[in-house]
C-alpha cells in the first residue's frame, strides 16, 4: 500500500493542533514535535519550532489573563534562604531577572519536565506570576527551543537518535 505524501494543509493542521496541545499543562508535547519532524522532515522541524513558540506564548498569555482575576497569583519564591555570598556577588553583576530567564531555558529543555507541568504548565506559571515581561519570555522561548530543530535540519541529529534517546554523536 502506497502512503500519500503529506500536504501543506496537513502540516498546517498538525502545527495548529501541536501548538494548542503544547499550551495545555502536563501534556508531553515533545513526542508530537518529533512526529511532525518524522512526517515532514526539515519542513516539519521548522513547523514544530514555530508551533512550539506559538503554543508556549499562548500558555503564557492565558497565565497573564488568569493573573488579572479577582484573586491574582502571587510571585513564586523558589528560595527562602539567602544565596551564598559568592553567588550573590555574581547575581548582582547580571541584568535584572537573568535568573528567571536562565531557569526558563533550563526548565523547557530538561528531560521529564512534564512532571512540573511540561512546557504549557511552565509557560502558564511564568505568565501568571509575571516573572518576565512578555517580550523577554518570547525571546527566551525562541532561543531555548531552537537548538534541536537547528541540529536536526543541519543533520547533526537524526530522528533515530532522538527516538532512541542517544542524542548527537
pLDDT at 69: 67
How many CB atoms within 10 Å of residue 51? 26
Strongest mean pLDDT among 33-42, 55-64, 90-99, 107-116: 55-64
Confirm if 134 and 60 have CB atoms less than 8 A apart.
Answer: yes
Rounded-to-integer distance, Cα 96 and Cα 93, Å: 9
Rounded-to-integer distance, Cα 16 and Cα 36, Å: 11
pLDDT at 2: 45
pLDDT, averaged across the chain: 81
Q: Which tens digit of pLDDT belongs to each residue from 35-81?
A: 888 888 899 999 999 999 999 999 999 999 988 866 555 444 444 45
Q: Which helix (H) or strand (E) holds 100?
A: helix 98-109
Cell 512546557 found at: 119
pLDDT at 165: 60
Q: Which helix (H) or strand (E) holds 50?
A: helix 42-67
Q: pTM above 0.75?
A: yes
pLDDT at 25: 92
Strongest mean pLDDT among 4-8, 82-86, 91-95, 123-127: 123-127
Q: Indicate if the pLDDT at residue 91 is higher than 70.
A: no
Residue 70: phi and psi, rounded to 5, are -65, -30
Rounded-to-integer distance, Cα 45 and Cα 94, Å: 33
Rounded-to-integer distance, Cα 21 and Cα 59, Å: 10
Rounded-to-integer distance, Cα 129 and Cα 72, Å: 9
User: Any residues with CB less than 8 A from the CB of 155 and at least 6 apart, and which?
Assistant: none
pLDDT at 83: 53
pLDDT at 82: 56
Strongest mean pLDDT among 7-11, 56-60, 91-95: 56-60
Quote helix, strand, coil % in the chain, to nearest 5. Answer: 65, 0, 35
Amino acid at each position: 500500500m502506497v502512503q500519500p505524501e503529506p500536504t501543506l494543509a496537513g502540516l498546517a493542521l498538525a502545527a495548529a493542533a501541536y501548538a494548542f496541545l503544547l499550551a495545555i499543562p502536563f501534556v508531553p508535547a515533545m513526542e508530537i514535535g518529533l512526529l511532525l519532524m518524522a512526517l515532514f522532515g526539515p519542513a516539519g522541524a521548522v513547523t514544530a519550532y514555530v508551533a512550539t513558540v506559538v503554543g508556549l506564548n499562548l500558555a503564557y498569555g492565558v497565565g497573564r489573563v488568569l493573573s488579572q482575576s479577582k484573586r491574582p497569583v502571587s510571585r513564586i519564591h523558589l528560595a527562602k534562604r539567602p544565596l551564598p555570598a559568592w553567588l550573590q556577588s555574581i547575581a548582582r553583576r547580571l541584568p535584572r531577572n537573568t535568573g528567571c530567564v536562565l531557569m526558563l531555558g533550563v526548565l523547557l529543555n530538561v528531560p521529564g519536565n512534564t512532571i512540573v507541568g511540561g512546557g504549557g504548565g511552565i509557560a502558564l506559571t511564568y505568565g501568571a506570576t509575571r516573572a518576565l515581561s512578555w517580550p523577554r519570555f518570547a525571546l527566551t522561548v525562541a532561543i531555548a527551543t531552537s537548538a534541536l530543530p537547528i541540529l536536526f535540519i543541519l543533520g547533526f541529529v537524526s530522528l533515530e537518535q532522538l527516538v532512541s534517546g542517544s542524542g548527537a554523536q
